[in-house]
Amino acid sequence: MRRRLRLSLVVLLALLVTAGGATPAALAGPADGRGGASAAGPDTAGSGDGAASRARRTFVSRIGTLNLPGGDFRKQKRLLDQPKRTRAALNFLQDQGVSVVALQELSTPSRKMLWRSPKWGVVSAPANSTRGRSEIGNAVAYQSRKWVRVKGDSLHLPVASRPRGLNMAVATLRRRGTGARIVVMSIHHPVKTEVNAKRVRERAKKFEIAYMNRVRRQTGYPVIIAGDTNERDAQGTYRRAGYDLGVRHVVDLITAKGVALTSSRVYVKDVYLRFTDHALVTSVVRLPR
Residue 46 lies in a domain: no
Do 144 and 26 fall within a single domain?
Answer: no
pLDDT greater at residue 151 or residue 40:
151
Query: In this structure, is residue 51 part of a structural domain?
Result: no
The answer as to whether 49 is a domain residue is: no
In this prediction, residue 73 carries a pLDDT of 55
CB 187 within 8 A of CB 229: yes
Residues 29 and 140 in one domain: no
Do 21 and 134 belong to one domain? no
Q: Which of 17-26, 70-79, 181-190 has the lowest mean pLDDT?
A: 17-26
For the chain, the domain total comes to: 2
Residue 50 inside a domain? The answer is no
Greater confidence, 30 or 69?
Answer: 69
Lowest mean pLDDT among 1-10, 68-77, 97-106, 277-286: 1-10
pLDDT, greater one: 160 or 28: 160
Q: Assess contact for 139 and 125: CB atoms under 8 A.
A: yes
Distance CA 86, CA 276 (A): 9
Percent pLDDT > 90 in the chain is 48
Domain that holds residue 10: 2-41
Q: In the predicted model, what is the mean pLDDT of the chain? A: 80
Q: What is the pLDDT of residues 221-234, one digit of tens each?
A: 999 999 999 998 88
pLDDT band at 30 (very low <50, low <70, confident <90, very high): very low
Average pLDDT over every residue of 115-139: 86
- Output the domain CATH number for residue 230: 3.60.10.10
**Residue 100 contacts by C-beta under 8 Å, 6 or more apart in sequence?**
61, 63, 64, 140, 141, 142, 143, 147, 171, 173, 182, 184
Residue 26 lies in a domain: yes
Q: Are residues 241 and 167 in the same domain?
A: yes
pLDDT band at 274 (very low <50, low <70, confident <90, very high): confident
| Residue that wins the pLDDT comparison between 20 and 60 | 60
Residues 117 and 198 in one domain: yes
Q: Report whether pLDDT(126) > 80.
A: yes
HEC readout, the chain: CHHHHHHHHHHHHHHHHHCCCCCHHHHHCCCCCCCCCCCCCCCEECCCCHHHHHHCCEEEEEEEEEECCCCCCCCCCCCCCHHHHHHHHHHHHHHCCEEEEEEEEEEHHHHHHHHHCCCEEEEECCCCEEECCEEEEEEEEEECCCEEEEEEEEEEEEECCEEEEEEEEEEEEEECCCCCEEEEEEEECCCCCCCCHHHHHHHHHHHHHHHHHHHHHHHCCCEEEEEECCCCCCHHHHHHCCCEEEEEECCEEEEEECCCEEEEEEECCCCECCCECCCEEEEEEEEEC
Q: Please state the rounded mean pLDDT for residues 183-187.
A: 98
Instruction: Specify whether 25 is located in the same domain as 83.
Output: no
Compute the average pLDDT of residues 247-258.
91
Q: How confident is the model at residue 160 (pLDDT cuts 50, 70, 90)?
A: confident
- On whether residue 30 sits in a domain, the answer given is yes
CA 235, chain centre distance (Å): 16
Q: What average pLDDT does the segment 106-126 reach? A: 91
